[in-house]
């Protein structure tokens, strides 16, 4: 999570590929998948443009190009 967060913060990421599996796990000490951005408001979040979603049974692949709101 820290590596992804740092790469996003430093502007090193052009495109994201996010896999989502239909499984939920974790606890109060779980590490975030993206850490260190310190974004507290939705309008300051890193967004994605030109998004595609593929259903990979049973998972999903979301792809998009990073859009900086800052």
By C-alpha distance, which of 1, 3, 9, 2 is closest to 66? 9
Ranges assigned E (strand) in 3-69 = 15-20, 47-55, 60-67
Burial 35-55 (b: 16+ CB within 10 A, else e): eeeebeeeeeebeeeeeeeee
How confident is the model at residue 69, as a pLDDT?
Answer: 62
Q: Does the pTM exceed 0.95?
A: no
pLDDT tens string 47-63: 999 999 999 999 999 99
pLDDT interval class at 35 (50, 70, 90): confident
């Amino acid at each position: 999570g820290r590596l992804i967060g740092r790469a996003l913060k430093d502007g090193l990421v052009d495109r994201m590929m996010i896999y989502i599996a239909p499984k939920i796990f974790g606890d109060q000490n779980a590490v975030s998948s993206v850490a260190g951005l310190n974004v507290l408001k939705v309008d300051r979040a890193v967004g994605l443009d030109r998004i595609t979603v593929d259903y990979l049974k049973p998972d999903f692949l979301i792809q998009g190009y990073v859009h900086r709101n800052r």
